Amino acid sequence: MIKRTVNVPSSDNIEIQYYIRDSDTGPDRQLDYPVHVHDYLEFYYLIEGDVSFMVDNTIYPLKPGDAVFCRPNEIHHCIRHSDRPHLHACFWFMSENDFLLGSFLRDRHANGNLLSPPSDEKRSAIRDSVTELGMTGGKDTLLEFSRLILLLDMWRGCLSRGTAESELPGQLRLILDDISKNLPEIRSISYLTGKYYVSPSQLRRLFTTHLGTTPKAYIERRRLAYSRILLKSGMRVTDACIASGFPDLSNYIRLFRTNFGITPSEYRRGILNTEPNKYK
């Protein structure tokens, strides 16, 4: 006889939002995916398509069945390489519950943020779970929740596995590292063009070719992400604006509201936008 007692740690309210795009129809077929950040643990799952996924300064080339997870305030976006159908799913876990999510939120892994199933059997099981979710959604909350937790557990089994990250040109890697280390001091693109002996058009081409975004947009989103970390630590709005490199407070507040749906002061007070798919 096997006798076991299972104690599940008490938890705050756990909200999970997701969408599954499993057909190539609808008005957003050519939807753009700009660099963005948010407060939640995100899982992006590729069903079909020719894409890579950037998290911070790392790019992961994906094949169908792969997933990528993004921690709160990690800058990320999907990079489409062609007009092939882009079928995928996104899941947002709106909780910092260590019991459920600690393996993703707390630990660092050998393969970074990539979740690549170790076998065809595991890849097929994950695909089936996503398909079942698409059929279950909104009909049976308990069944829907149990399938989401099962999916989470299967992804946990993919940690520390997977392929290597995509190699970036050496010059671009140096530029990205420079931006990460010296973000507040970079007042304009000329800082980078002068330091690395590239023209503005060459710099733009490097970013658009390999990152799918412009230097200006990339730096702006990194500033916003860094300012959110400072605000969450309790820093005043004006100080967070200056420390993250924004030259103008009113422009910073406008950009923050445009990107996150709330003001910096509201974010500092703990108010969150509960619609992660609207973060840009």
* Domain boundaries defined on the chain: 15-156, 170-278
Residue 13 CB: number of other CB atoms within 10 A? 7
| pTM confidence score | 0.82
pLDDT band at 122 (very low <50, low <70, confident <90, very high): very high
Give the least confident one: 49-63, 147-161, 220-234, 259-273: 259-273
pLDDT of 175-194, one tens digit each? 999 998 999 889 889 999 99
How much is the pLDDT for 279? 40
pLDDT at 4 over 70: yes
Residues near 139 by Cβ (< 8 Å), separated by ≥ 6? Answer: none
Are 21 and 89 within 8 A, CB to CB? yes
pLDDT band at 275 (very low <50, low <70, confident <90, very high): low
In angstroms, rounded to a whole number, what is the distance separating the alpha carbons of residues 78 and 189? 23
pLDDT of 41-89, one tens digit each? 999 999 999 999 999 888 999 999 999 999 988 999 999 888 888 999 9
How much is the pLDDT for 27? 46
At residue 179's C-alpha, the angle toward residues 177 and 183, to 5°, is 140
How much is the pLDDT for 259? 87
- DSSP string computed for 123-186: HHHHHHHHHHHHHHTTT-HHHHHHHHHHHHHHHHTTTT-SPPPPPPPHHHHHHHHHHHHHGGG-
pLDDT at 140 over 90: no
Give the least confident one: 108-117, 149-158, 234-243, 258-267: 108-117
Give domain 15-156's CATH architecture: Sandwich (2.60)
- DSSP string computed for 229-247: HHHHTT--HHHHHHHTT-S
pLDDT of 245-257, one tens digit each? 999 999 999 999 9
Pairing of strands 87-94, 15-21: antiparallel
pLDDT band at 10 (very low <50, low <70, confident <90, very high): low
Structure tokens at 106: 């707390």
Q: What is 170-278's CATH number? A: 1.10.10.60
How much is the pLDDT for 32? 60
Give the residue-averaged pLDDT of 267-278: 66
Give the residue-averaged pLDDT of 7-19: 78
Residue 49: left (phi > 0), alpha (psi -120 to 50), or beta?
left
